[in-house]
Amino acid sequence: MEEKRYPELDEEQGIGMCSEPSGSNALDGYANTIETFNGEVVADTWDPGIGPYDMEELKARIDEAETFIEKAEQGDWSDWVTEAQSRANLYNKYPWLK
């Protein structure tokens, strides 16, 4: 039986034949898109809803967290939930997590 011989390629000819994807996205080249910090392209109307959106909001969130921490240090744990309570809330909201 005759052995099949494959053509030998110069390195320059083989460049790009087995490379990683270019990272292009379905939204590339379309209007109303933005590039995120990690290079992904998304619609400019996309909002992850997690903020904060500016320094004032960030500072307000920090102040609120510090208030809750100070209250807990004084013995008022009313703003906190246990891990078990948090899991129960998640399982009630998303039953498929069980």
Q: What is the mean pLDDT, run by run of 10 residues, along the chain of 98 residues?
A: 72 56 54 74 76 85 95 94 94 92
What contacts 6, CB < 8 A, 6 or more positions away? none
Residue 60 in domain = yes
Whether 27 is in a domain gets the answer yes
**Angle 24-30-35 (CA atoms, 0-180°, nearest 5)?**
55
pLDDT for residue 44: 74
User: What is the chain's alpha carbon radius of gyration, rounded to the nearest angstrom?
Assistant: 27
The per-residue pLDDT for 26 is: 54
- DSSP structural state of residue 97: G
pLDDT at 72: 94
Q: Does residue 19 form part of some domain?
A: yes
Range of the domain at 66: 13-97
User: How many domains does the chain fold into?
Assistant: 1
Q: What is the pLDDT of residue 49?
A: 76
